[in-house]
Structures are given as structure tokens and as C-alpha cells.
């Protein structure tokens, strides 16, 4: 059992099934993606961390897409095609994908997969 599996086994969250479903979508997006626990939540990386769950408040789950664990002096300008409007941008190199329940995850899962593929394509050198 890896650190994220252990974390998830102990997690008490009303949207735990949704977190697992989103986690599966992200991991299936690229075979190079690995995961760890960072900032007390599952986090995803290849060369550096690029996405991390935000598990509070408990009414929703969010995936924070970023360009690394530390802020860069010169932020990457991400260009993500998001025709479904899944992302909410908080900076040019950081955005949120918010899910409210399993129907939302199922409906927008394919869009999430495309976003992860694009994000990874722009941050991995």
C-alpha cells in the first residue's frame, strides 16, 4: 500500500468515492503520473507536483492545478483548451477544477482527463 492508499483508507470525507474516482481519472491520464501526499491531500507529479486535491470545505472537492510545489520566479503561462468550463483560473499558472458529487465527476471526467493531458504536456520538459 502506498502513502496515498494509506491516506485514503484513513480519510473521513463525505465525497470519498468522488475523490477516488477523480484520482483514478488523473492517474489514467498519463502512465508517468505518480502520486504522494502533499499539503495533507493526494498530490500528483511527474518531474514535479502539478495537481493537488483541496478537500475542504467538505461540500465539494477541488483539484488545484499548479506548476510545481514552489512558486516560480517567472510563472508558466498555461494554455488549456477547456470547452466545458471546468476550470476556474486563480492565476496564469494555477486553476481549480471543482466537483460537487459523483454525477458531476462522471459527466466531466472526460474533460478532466483532457485537461490533465494538456497540463502535463506543457509542464514536463
Contact, 67 vs 93, CB < 8 A? yes
Q: pLDDT tens for residues 1-58?
A: 789 999 999 999 999 999 999 999 999 999 999 999 998 999 999 988 999 999 998 9
pLDDT of residue 71: 65
Sign of the Cα torsion 29, 65, 72, 118 reads: positive
With 0-12 CB in 10 A as exposed, 13-18 as middle and 19+ as buried, what is 75?
middle
Cα within 13 Å of Cα(6), Cβ side: 6
Beta-strand relationship, 41-45 and 49-54 = antiparallel
Name the strand (E) or helix (H) holding 1.
none
**Distance of alpha carbon 4 from alpha carbon 23, whole angstroms:** 10
What value does the mean pLDDT take over residues 105-120?
96
Q: What is the pTM of this model?
A: 0.93
pLDDT of residue 27: 97
Q: Per-residue confidence at 74, pLDDT binned at 50, 70, 90?
A: confident
pLDDT of residue 67: 86
Q: pLDDT tens for residues 81-98?
A: 999 999 999 988 899 999
pLDDT of residue 92: 85
Which domains does the chain possess? 3-123 (3.90.1150.200)
Strands (DSSP E) found in the chain = 34-38, 41-45, 49-54, 61-65, 87-91, 94-99
Amino acid at each position: 500500500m502506498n502513502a496515498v492508499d494509506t491516506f485514503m483508507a484513513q480519510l473521513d470525507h463525505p465525497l470519498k468515492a468522488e475523490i477516488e474516482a477523480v484520482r483514478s481519472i488523473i492517474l489514467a491520464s498519463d502512465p508517468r503520473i505518480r502520486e504522494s501526499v502533499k499539503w495533507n491531500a493526494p498530490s500528483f507529479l511527474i518531474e514535479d507536483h502539478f495537481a493537488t486535491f483541496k478537500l475542504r470545505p467538505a461540500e465539494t472537492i477541488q483539484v488545484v492545478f499548479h506548476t510545481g510545489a514552489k512558486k516560480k520566479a517567472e510563472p508558466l503561462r498555461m494554455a488549456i483548451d477547456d470547452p466545458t468550463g471546468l476550470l476556474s483560473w486563480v492565476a496564469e499558472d494555477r486553476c481549480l477544477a471543482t466537483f460537487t458529487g459523483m454525477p458531476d465527476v462522471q459527466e466531466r471526467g472526460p474533460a478532466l482527463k483532457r485537461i490533465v493531458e494538456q497540463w502535463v504536456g506543457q509542464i514536463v520538459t
